[in-house]
Amino acid sequence: MSMDRKSFLKITGCAVAGAIAGGKLGGLVAGAEDAEYLPAPGALTARRWGMVVDTRKCRKQEGCKDCIRACHQAHNVPQIPDKTREVKWIWKEKFEHAFPSQETEYPNEELHGRQVLLLCNHCDDPPCVRVCPTQATWKREADGIVMMDWHRCIGCRYCIAACPYGSRSFNWGDPRPYIPKVRADYPTRTKGVVEKCTFCEERLARGEMPACVEACPEKALVFGDLADPNSEVRRLLRTEYTLRRKPELGTRPEVFYIL
Amino acid sequence: MFMFEKAVVGSRRYWLWILGLFAVIGVGFLNYLRQLEVGLAITGLNRDVTWGLYIAQFTFLVGVAASAVMVVLPYYLHDWKVFSRVTILGEFLAISAVTMCMLFIFVDMGQPHRVMNVILHPTPHSIMFWDMVSLSGYLILNAVIALVTLSAERKGVAPPNWIKPVILLSIPWAISIHTVTAFLYNGLPGRSFWLTAILAPRFLASAFAAGPSLLILFCMLLRKLTWFDAGREPIRRLAVIVTYAMIVNVFFVLMEVFTVFYSGIPEHKLHFEYLFVGLDGHNSLVPWMWTSVILAVAALVLLIVPRWRRNDRILAVTCVIVFLSLWIDKGIGLIVGGFVPSPLGAITEYAPTLPEIAITLGVWAVGALIITVFYKITLSVRESLA
């Protein structure tokens, strides 16, 4: 890739800012912004967080929902009974729904109907970020996590239309009555905003692995730095055949699947 | 304010109509208050179909707004004097339609009190940002043009020279509002139904059929209800515009159908199948879509045969048919059809709820009120001159 959209915008943006404010002031502002993103001591950091989901290990425990429960409890995700209006950060879907283009009319017994764990792909080129009119969702420079600001989101749902993976949920009503036990150390959301998985950025900041990764009894979820050639995720990508969801769309998901 | 005193004097019939509109607006407003309280849960929207009636109305009405260019362009660029009496009607129609567009976006928002975030955090890589810029710009352009030219008419003088470039600017601007609106949809990687370069041209073609149809109906209505007669010639010329636009629109739709079905790519095909035959027994939109098709074919026949096009009674019916056909196509099928099936292959149907319909009617009534008031002012000005 020569110059992607972001670097183009950055360059033009800098040029405009420079023209208006002059080099010195622009430099000061940029410096101040960088400082806000310095990780806390003890935080887990990476240049590019990513995940490998080993569905072979995952299916050893049939019907296991430990990761889903851990995530939804950790993040005050409401348990809405109406399936057409539910909110979910991580969930299981049949193989043929997760990978529609892989399905043939001669189904493979191993794969057909296999439950595959889905979550936000934290795409390298996320369409949701591209369309958001308020930058309430953005890709974090430092580690590539696609973040969400629930206090800025205007609830236009453009990001939901843009996400090709169904990874985003909207709060059609007040979610709070549907949270079984509200955790005080994580915010609840209000009606009218979009939410999704954030790769547990709040746990990473405390030096903890994502809740789903920690909860998995089979260690089927491997989380690590895709920019580090010696990381466990990179080792798996080197040695195993992996798939990304809808690679043809050019979003470059950072969640990989071993089937 | 500016000539609004003319809107508060009127016949009994005028006031009954205004009162009726306020009643519809009131019902819509009460339902909107409930939506503010409960959230968008009062609508029929769901996880898979996240935009519905509101956004579809917005999309359709952007077209109606843009169609003002079909009277402005011939009048100001080609000096078609026959449009001198109807141009301002088109501009006021644009003002009303853009206002409705903005209201429909507003009522669709989950957190409407945060609307200023779009301006506080301007985001040039979001098409929605450009849609806001183009729509508000178009509203201002048309408001300035209509009010300046009307006040010049009242004083019996030629409009000031500075308004000419503003009018010329409004022509490409009209094209831009509907192009940007199409870009909202056809830049999304996972939504194959909208992922087609013909979307913006198709939007424009359908707009230039639906908008002028409405304008013809307004001219006829004004002739019947008031002293104002736009004359035969403008209506005939508008009918020719509607004819060409409708032909081009149907042509574009057929091009889409060929591409989708001859290539046979399932992701593209499934949406059309859902709309026209149903998928896995889910077929609630099928009758609507076929109604739209039949109406479109009927409209084409009635428009193309000169004898029928020139007959005012038949033309009135034709215009209603064109409007309905395109409203179903864009105001229902185009948005909902893009969401079914979902990117994960789920087929979840959507039907608007009663509160949602009440809010929608309320917004339409606001548009009707704006049109009524502005047409009333225009006619009063012209009556005092006559």
Query: DSSP string of B192-251?
Result: TTT--TTHHHHHHHHHHHHHHHHHHHHHHHHHHHSS----HHHHHHHHHHHHHHHHHHHH
Q: How high does pLDDT run on average in chain A?
A: 89
Test the B interface: residue of A83, A105, A112, A154 with most B CBs within 10 Å: A154
For position A25, what pLDDT does the model report? 45
B48 in contact with A at a CB cutoff of 8 Å? yes
Predicted confidence (pLDDT) at residue A36 exceeds the cutoff of 90: no
Domains of chain B: 4-385 (1.20.1630.10)
Distance in angstroms (rounded) separating the CA atoms of residues B269 and B290: 17
Distance in angstroms (rounded) separating the CA atoms of residues A149 and B16: 48
Q: pTM value?
A: 0.92
Question: Are B189 and A127 an interchain contact pair (Cβ–Cβ within 8 Å)?
Answer: yes
For position A18, what pLDDT does the model report? 47
Residues A12-33: pLDDT tens digits?
Answer: 555 554 444 444 444 444 444 4
CA atoms within 13 A on the CB side of B141: 25
Distance in angstroms (rounded) separating the CA atoms of residues B89 and B103: 21
Minimum Cα–Cα distance from B193: chain A residue: A161
| In contact, B331 and B59? CB cutoff 8 Å | yes
Position B382, amino acid:
R
Give how far A131 is from chain B: nearest CA, Å.
Answer: 4
B117 in contact with A at a CB cutoff of 8 Å? yes
Confidence of residue A10 (pLDDT cuts 50, 70, 90): low
ipTM: 0.93
A15 in contact with B at a CB cutoff of 8 Å? no
Residues B199-210: pLDDT tens digits?
Answer: 999 999 999 999
Distance in angstroms (rounded) separating the CA atoms of residues B203 and B67: 11
Residues of A in contact with B339 (CB under 8 A): 161
The long-range contacts involving B258-262, CB below 8 angstroms and separated by at least 24 positions, are: B259/B196
**Tokens in use for A198?**
């954030």
Minimum Cα–Cα distance from B346: chain A residue: A97
Confidence of residue A135 (pLDDT cuts 50, 70, 90): very high
A112 in contact with B at a CB cutoff of 8 Å? no
Q: Which CATH class is domain A46-258?
A: alpha beta
Q: Is the peptide bond before A247 cis (omega within 30 degrees of 0)?
A: no
Question: Are B190 and A154 an interchain contact pair (Cβ–Cβ within 8 Å)?
Answer: no
For position A108, what pLDDT does the model report? 87
For position A27, what pLDDT does the model report? 43
For position B323, what pLDDT does the model report? 97
Interface of B with A in 252-281 (CB under 8 A): 267
Predicted confidence (pLDDT) at residue A130 exceeds the cutoff of 80: yes
Contacts of A76 (CB under 8 A, 6+ apart): A175, A179, A182, A183, A186, A187, A188, A189
Minimum Cα–Cα distance from A191: chain B residue: B39
> Which of A165, A170, A249 faces B50 most closely, judged by CB atoms?
A170
Contacts of B20 (CB under 8 A, 6+ apart): none
For position B55, what pLDDT does the model report? 97
| N- to C-terminal Cα separation, chain B | 23
Picking from A187, A248, A205, the residue whose alpha carbon sits closest to that of residue A49 is A205
Residues of A in contact with B38 (CB under 8 A): 173, 191
**Tokens in use for B209?**
């059929």
Q: Which regions in chain B score pLDDT beneath 70?
A: 1-2
Residues A150-167, mean pLDDT to the nearest whole number: 97
Interface of A with B in 69-88 (CB under 8 A): 84-86
E strand or H helix at B375:
helix B354-385
For position A28, what pLDDT does the model report? 46
Domain ranges across chain A: 1-31, 46-258
Distance in angstroms (rounded) separating the CA atoms of residues A254 and B149: 58
For position B9, what pLDDT does the model report? 83
Helix/strand/coil for B343: coil
Local structure of residue B318 (DSSP, 8 states): H
C-alpha angle with apex B232: B230 to B233, nearest 5 degrees? Answer: 95
Residues of B in contact with A98 (CB under 8 A): 344
Residues A62-70, mean pLDDT to the nearest whole number: 94
For position A16, what pLDDT does the model report? 53
B123 in contact with A at a CB cutoff of 8 Å? yes
For position A15, what pLDDT does the model report? 52
Minimum Cα–Cα distance from B266: chain A residue: A101
Residues of B in contact with A133 (CB under 8 A): 117-118, 123, 126, 128-129, 132
Residue B211 Cα to chain centre, angstroms: 7
**Tokens in use for A60?**
């050893």
B172 in contact with A at a CB cutoff of 8 Å? no
Interface of A with B in 162-191 (CB under 8 A): 162-166, 169-174, 190-191
Test the A interface: residue of B43, B114, B180, B334 with most A CBs within 10 Å: B114
